[in-house]
Amino acid sequence: MNASPTSARALPFDETRRRGGPLSALLSSDRPRSKVLSALLLAILLLLAATPFLFSGSQPVGTAAKICVFIVLVASYDLLLGYSGIVSFAHTMFFGIGGYGIAIALERLGPTWGSAAIGLIAALALSALLAIAIGLLSLRVRAIFFSMITLAVASAAAVLASQLSDVTGGEDGLSFQLPQALRPAFRLLSEPVFGTAVNGRLLAYYLVFFVSLVIFLVLLRIVNSPFGRVLQAIRENEFRAEALGYRVVAYRTAASVISALAATIAGALMALWLRYNGPDTTLSFSIMIDILLMVVIGGMGTMYGAVIGAALFVLAQSYLQVLMGAGSAALAGLPLLPNLIHPDRWLLWLGALFIISVYAFPGGIVGRLRQAKQ
């Protein structure tokens, strides 16, 4: 396990300590360290912040909200995979718990902020308990064992969610009402601003946006704290970290709890935005695969990789298919080729990119950009 994918990266501790300033404080002294990357991140941030005012229609805003949620989800997974070297397949379980927490509470207790809070707190508590249980039971064994056990547990959770239809709505999921202030009919200002009505939908979007931003910065803070450094040390050489006196299982369990909590919040945001939660939106295994692709393509162990990965992936999911459709139509008549670039085969190409990432540039897009600078 010595040849960890990110072992080549130097820890940017001393270099950044000397600088400072408010931006550094906000980014926990972990600057993008590449001009192109900074530009990309800034562009994504500005676009996400201004989407409701830049584009008309509901699809772009929906895409932007999904990107925000997935940035949190993928960043929290990166804390596990990239910073701690733990491969878990149970991340969607925590995402689902968050979604169901909000959905069940708002559906049963009525559409108020109070019930949303109760749902979120209950979901966070359940996630933390499960993460501790799984962590303490199986994090002391080897990487493969942990992966397989989390896969089994996650599939059991998915089965439970679809079986306990009295509680979770089964395969149909749960639709629910939002608190008054987030409903489309709610008007904060009577006049539109820059041609966009300031209604509950807009507030809901900015709730998703700002909560995602804060959670992302918190995660960035965590991985750049001494705690984060210990995780990286364990990832690089478990034996030495143990010999230095760090309790490896405790640190790993703590990492998986933090990661699970962030995923739970992401799930809650997703449910709030969609006003619905079901197995396919938060709990399915295909979302787990998406998360894995986003982390690795964006860049494991970089945090900013989550932003790039999530944005790229969600955009590809929404818009690459159109491009591929055109290509496929142009090649009609040839054998197999049109099938390979059929719009439904977009995952094939991202999968190939994923494999190439693992081999050729383990730091993903972010690692690549940072290397280019040096």
Partner 1 sequence: MSDLTTDAAAPAELPRAKSDWLPLLLIPALALLALPFVGSPSTWVTLTVAGLAMGMMIFLMASGLTLVFGLMDIINFGHGVFISLGAYATLLVLGPLAGWATADSVGLNLALLLLCILAAMAVTGVAGAVFERVIVRPVYGSHLKQILVTMGGLIVTEQLIHAIWGASPIPIPLPQSLRGAFVLGDIVMERYRVVAVVIGLAVFIGMQLLLNRTRIGLLIRAGVENPEMVEALGYRIRRLFVSVFIAGSALAGLGGVMWAFYRQTLTAGMGMEVMVLVFIVIIIGGLGSVGGCFVGSILVALVANYVGFIEPKLALISNILVMALVLIWRPQGLFPVARR
Residue 188 has φ and ψ, to the nearest 5°, of -85, -45
Give the pair of three-digit tokens for residue 158: 């998915």
C-alpha closest to that of 296 among 253, 348, 350, 222: 350
The interface with partner 1 within residues 216-275 (CB under 8 A) comprises none
Nearby residues of 243 by Cβ (< 8 Å), 6 or more positions away: none
Q: Which of 10, 243, 322, 336 binds partner 1 (CB under 8 A)?
A: 336
Q: Helices 35-54 and 58-84 meet at what angle, rounded to 10?
A: 150
State in angstroms the smallest separation of the CB of 100 from partner 1. 17
Question: How far is 67 from 336, CA to CA, in rounded Å?
Answer: 33
Q: Which of 292, 294, 308, 311 binds partner 1 (CB under 8 A)?
A: 292
- Rounded to 10 degrees, the C-alpha dihedral 24/30/32/33 comes to 100
State in angstroms the smallest separation of the CB of 160 from partner 1. 7
335 contacts partner 1 (rule: CB under 8 A)? no
9 contacts partner 1 (rule: CB under 8 A)? no
- Choice between 243 and 336, CB closer to partner 1: 336
Please give the helix or strand (H or E) that residue 319 lies within, else none: none
Q: Which of 118, 153, 202, 316 binds partner 1 (CB under 8 A)?
A: 153
Give the pair of three-digit tokens for residue 357: 């990432």
8 contacts partner 1 (rule: CB under 8 A)? no
203 contacts partner 1 (rule: CB under 8 A)? no
Give the pair of three-digit tokens for residue 180: 């008054």
Question: How far is 67 from 71, CA to CA, in rounded Å?
Answer: 6
State in angstroms the smallest separation of the CB of 299 from partner 1. 13
339 contacts partner 1 (rule: CB under 8 A)? yes
Strand, helix or coil for residue 277? strand
- Choice between 179 and 278, CB closer to partner 1: 278
Question: How far is 227 from 223, CA to CA, in rounded Å?
Answer: 7
Question: How far is 355 from 363, CA to CA, in rounded Å?
Answer: 13
163 contacts partner 1 (rule: CB under 8 A)? yes
144 contacts partner 1 (rule: CB under 8 A)? yes
Q: Which of 26, 129, 152, 330 binds partner 1 (CB under 8 A)?
A: 152
Question: How far is 37 from 29, CA to CA, in rounded Å?
Answer: 16
Other C-beta atoms lying within 10 Å of the C-beta of residue 50: 12
Q: Which of 285, 319, 326, 371 binds partner 1 (CB under 8 A)?
A: 285
Candidate ranges 19-27, 190-198, 226-234, 348-356; the one touching partner 1 (CB under 8 A): 348-356
Q: Which of 110, 114, 192, 351 binds partner 1 (CB under 8 A)?
A: 351
Strand, helix or coil for residue 196? strand
Q: Which of 358, 371, 372, 373 binds partner 1 (CB under 8 A)?
A: 358
330 contacts partner 1 (rule: CB under 8 A)? no
- The residue count for binding partner 1 (CB under 8 A) is 43
Chain residues in the site for partner 1 (CB under 8 A): 1, 3-5, 85, 87, 137, 141-145, 147-149, 151-153, 155-156, 159-160, 163, 285, 289, 292-293, 296, 336, 339-340, 342, 344-345, 347-348, 350-352, 354-355, 358-359
